[in-house]
Amino acid sequence: MQFTNEELKIKIDELKEKLDVTVVAHFYQRDEVFEVGDITGDSLELAMKTKADDAEFVLFCGVGFMGQSVKVLSPHKRVVMPKVACCAMAKMIDGLMFDNAVKALNEAGIENENILPITYINSDVVVKAKVGAMGGLVCTSSNAKTIITTALKEGKKILFVPDRCLGQNIANQMGLKSCVIGDGSDLSESDIICFDGFCSVHQLFTLDDIKFYRKKFPGILIATHPECDPAICDASDFVGSTSQLINYIADLDEDQKVAVGTEFNMVNRLRTKNTYVLSSTKPECPTMNETTLEDVYVTLKAIEDGEPINEIFIDEDTQKWAKIALERMLAL
């Protein structure tokens, strides 16, 4: 039998009352899913707030690496996901590709003891574990600059995976030299050496979009996420993570126009008559959009029936090293 969203919301609320479960939803989720979240936020906020929550079950509406991060930080919790959707960027690097990236640095004369790996939180738990085991740590787009500033104090080369855009944008902001493995540069000359991964959603924003809005509305501000190409971020008035963008827009005068370059669901929720989506396309994240309200209901029902579905399990060794990498980030 098919239920309407209103009926599903009522059923979800009833199950939430009855079960020891916290529903967690990322800002990029569909509106109706976001609305049933007990904890909402960007990836860093979700990792921290969920760690502090004490329900037995976490029902995580987001992409796979986010659910994994909750499990790693709180192994005693049972983490289930309505859809184990995999972020396209996180899929671009696995353990073997990470090892090959390290080899590329070795071939450029940079020994392992002079490499400090940093992985963006948008990566599989296996990659986080490899980074942790090499003495490295995790970052998110909210704290990447702080993490890199601290890491550089060790005087090592930073291997940044998987997002070449975030790595290069932070390097540009800090006046550091960066390159992408395979771009033909001498890796040993860069401070930050990036893996060649990217977010397909954030590549949708173009310089033509910026030109279009600046011409149409003189005085408009352009605000973008650091997963956008460095050329886009350089041409923006503000670059920030999901929460930083939300705060930036909230602080603008009511009449100030702003065009925002990040995921559609989030920008749409912020939309006022002066907030625009910086694209002629609809920049939705396909994997974030996979989770429906019906999936949330089915997943709660499975907990009620004593047969949880899509539960996240992580082997002990991976868990141990990924936790070290994540906790090094939280400690900063």
Among 42, 229, 263, 295, contact with ligand SF4 (rule: CB under 6 A) = 263
Q: Which is nearer to ligand 13P, 217 or 238 (CB)?
A: 238
Q: Which helix (H) or strand (E) holds 223?
A: strand 221-224
Q: Taking CB under 6 A as the rule, does residue 242 contact ligand 13P?
A: yes
**Which residues ranging from 177 to 196 are in contact with ligand SF4 (CB under 6 A)?**
none
Torsion sign over Cα 48, 44, 245, 82: negative
Single out the segment in contact with ligand 13P by CB under 6 A; choices: 40-48, 93-101, 157-165, 289-297.
40-48
Cα–Cα distance between 244 and 143 in angstroms, integer? Answer: 10
* Structure tokens belonging to residue 270: 């912020």
Axis-axis angle for helices 43-52, 64-73 (nearest 10): 30
Judge whether 40 and 30 are in contact, CB under 8 Å.
Answer: no
Q: Within 13 A of 52's CA, how many CA atoms are on the CB side?
A: 7
Binding flags for ligand 13P, 120-159, as an x/- string (CB under 6 A): --x-----------------xx------------------
DSSP alpha helix (H) spans, 176-292: 207-216, 230-234, 242-250, 264-270
* Structure tokens belonging to residue 286: 């396909």
- Shortest gap between Cβ of 241 and ligand 13P (angstroms)? 4
Q: Which helix (H) or strand (E) holds 128?
A: helix 125-133
Number of residues that bind ligand SF4 (CB under 6 A): 12
Cα–Cα distance between 328 and 332 in angstroms, integer? Answer: 7
Q: Taking CB under 6 A as the rule, does residue 285 contact ligand SF4?
A: yes
Q: Which is nearer to ligand 13P, 69 or 299 (CB)?
A: 69
Binding partner of 140, given ligand SF4, ligand 13P, none, CB within 5-8 angstroms per partner class: ligand 13P
Binding partner of 233, given ligand SF4, ligand 13P, none, CB within 5-8 angstroms per partner class: none
Q: Taking CB under 6 A as the rule, does residue 63 contact ligand SF4?
A: yes
**Which residues ranging from 96 to 125 are in contact with ligand 13P (CB under 6 A)?**
122
Closest C-alpha to 170, from 115, 211, 226: 226
Q: Taking CB under 6 A as the rule, does residue 122 contact ligand SF4?
A: yes
Q: Taking CB under 6 A as the rule, does residue 121 contact ligand SF4?
A: no
Q: Which is nearer to ligand SF4, 21 or 41 (CB)?
A: 41
Judge whether 156 and 194 are in contact, CB under 8 Å.
Answer: no
Closest C-alpha to 60, from 243, 311, 324, 327: 311
Cis amide prior to 162 (ω within 30 degrees): yes
- Shortest gap between Cβ of 282 and ligand 13P (angstroms)? 15
Q: Taking CB under 6 A as the rule, does residue 50 contact ligand 13P?
A: no
Q: Taking CB under 6 A as the rule, does residue 288 contact ligand SF4?
A: yes
- Shortest gap between Cβ of 151 and ligand 13P (angstroms)? 18
Q: Taking CB under 6 A as the rule, does residue 227 contact ligand 13P?
A: yes
Among 137, 199, 303, 325, contact with ligand SF4 (rule: CB under 6 A) = 199
Number of residues that bind ligand 13P (CB under 6 A): 11
- Report the DSSP pairing between strands 21-26 and 115-120: unpaired
β-bridge partners, 192: 158, 178
**Which residues ranging from 181 to 220 are in contact with ligand 13P (CB under 6 A)?**
199
Judge whether 116 and 155 are in contact, CB under 8 Å.
Answer: no
Q: Could you list the residues that contact ligand SF4 (CB under 6 A)?
A: 63, 87-89, 122, 199, 201, 227, 263, 285, 287-288
